[in-house]
């Protein structure tokens, strides 16, 4: 009987210890300092941002190919083919804008996180960062599933940081300021993406048949 009680005691101690360990992990107890964990988040964000940049450059190369074919077809007087290539360029550039906007948003996040690390003003940035990472992950869900998955994993890490820093930020930051900060970053990234498309990609001029189609 005493032996059985001892066995139950050992089992309960093991289960309790396991439960407490999991709870501590969830609450962030005995984990790395906040600054170190945020530095890791920054590194992981940079990795995903580099993947998005590679996709952007690949699309830019593809656009150049299509544009050159469009010009060649127009020079040869093949307006139907020229319009086809011009249409493909236009559709590609819609996707490029999303990719560029995502790249620039992540770039701004990395810059802000690195600045916050230097200034020690980390707690107030975690929630807006989480919001932007979620937004970028969503808009890349079908274009770059691997990056979207990576960003979702980063967001899971940020969940714990939001819980840990939330009590500090809630007291000192006005309501709604997180969403305002996130909105401003995304809007700025959108404007920059538009500017980069205009500077990097040659303008598509409609061919005569396209002008005829649009006027009818």
**For residue 144, what are its two tokens?**
């770059």
Cα–Cα distance between 201 and 215 in angstroms, integer? 26
* pLDDT band, residue 143 (cuts 50/70/90): very high
Higher pLDDT, 196 or 205: 196
Identify the residue whose tokens are 């980390």: 122
Do the Cβ atoms of 105 and 130 come closer than 8 Å? Answer: no
pLDDT of residue 162: 66
* pLDDT band, residue 124 (cuts 50/70/90): low
Q: pLDDT per residue over 161-184, tens digit each?
A: 766 655 444 433 444 444 676 777
Cα–Cα distance between 144 and 162 in angstroms, integer? 26
Element at 20 (helix H, strand E): helix 2-27
* pLDDT band, residue 22 (cuts 50/70/90): very low
DSSP annotation of 73 reads H
Mean pLDDT score, 143-147 = 94
Q: pLDDT per residue over 31-78, tens digit each?
A: 567 778 888 889 999 999 999 999 999 999 999 999 999 999 989 988
Torsions phi, psi of 33, nearest 5?
Answer: -55, 150
Closest CA to 137 of 154, 114, 162, 158: 154
Q: pLDDT per residue over 73-122, tens digit each?
A: 989 988 899 999 999 999 999 999 999 999 999 999 898 888 877 656 66
DSSP annotation of 31 reads S
Mean pLDDT score, 12-33 = 47
pLDDT of residue 165: 59
**For residue 138, what are its two tokens?**
């969503």
């Amino acid at each position: 009987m005493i032996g059985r009680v001892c066995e139950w005691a050992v089992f309960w101690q093991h289960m309790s210890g396991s439960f407490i360990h999991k709870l501590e992990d969830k609450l962030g107890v005995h984990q790395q300092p906040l600054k170190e964990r945020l530095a890791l988040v920054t590194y992981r964000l940079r990795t995903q941002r580099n993947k998005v940049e590679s996709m952007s450059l690949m699309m830019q190369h593809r656009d150049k190919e299509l544009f050159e074919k469009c010009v060649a077809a127009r020079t040869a007087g093949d307006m139907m083919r020229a319009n086809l290539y011009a249409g493909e360029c236009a559709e590609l550039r819609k996707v490029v804008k999303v990719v560029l906007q995502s790249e620039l948003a992540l770039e701004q996040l990395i810059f802000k996180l690195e600045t916050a690390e230097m200034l020690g003003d980390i707690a107030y940035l975690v929630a807006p960062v989480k919001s932007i990472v979620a937004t970028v992950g969503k808009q890349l869900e079908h274009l770059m599933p691997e990056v979207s998955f990576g960003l979702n994993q980063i967001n899971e890490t940020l969940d714990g940081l939001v819980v840990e820093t939330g009590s500090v930020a809630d007291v000192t930051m006005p309501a709604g300021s997180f969403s305002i900060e996130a909105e401003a970053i995304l809007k700025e990234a959108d404007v920059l993406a538009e500017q980069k498309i205009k500077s990097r990609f040659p303008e598509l001029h409609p061919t005569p048949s396209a002008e005829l189609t649009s006027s009818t």
